[in-house]
Amino acid sequence: MKTWLLAALLAVPAFASSPGASKSWDFSVLLDGSKIGYHRFELREDEGQRLLTSEASFNVRFLFINAFRYRHTLTEVWSDGCLEKIEARTQANGKKLAISGSRDKDGFIVDDGEATSSLQDCVMTFAYWNPEFLRQPRLLNPQSGEYLDVEVERVGDQPIVVRGEEMAASVYRITARKMELTLWYSQDDEWLALESVAKGGRILRYELT
Average pLDDT of the segment spanning 29-39: 95
Per the CB < 8 A criterion, the answer to whether 43 and 129 are in contact is: yes
DSSP three-state, residue 20: coil
Per the CB < 8 A criterion, the answer to whether 172 and 158 are in contact is: no
Among the ranges given (41-45, 67-71, 140-144, 145-149), the one the predictor scored with the smallest mean pLDDT:
67-71
Average pLDDT of the segment spanning 43-52: 90
Per the CB < 8 A criterion, the answer to whether 119 and 137 are in contact is: no
Positive/negative CA dihedral, 136, 140, 142, 144? positive
Res. 156 pLDDT band, cuts 50 70 90: very high
Res. 63 pLDDT band, cuts 50 70 90: low
Burial 62-100 (b: 16+ CB within 10 A, else e): eeeeeebebebebebbbeeeebbbbbbebebeeeeeebb
Which residue ranges make up each domain of the chain?
3-208
Which CATH class, in words, describes the domain spanning 3-208? Answer: mainly beta
Model-level pTM greater than 0.95? no
Average pLDDT of the segment spanning 45-56: 92
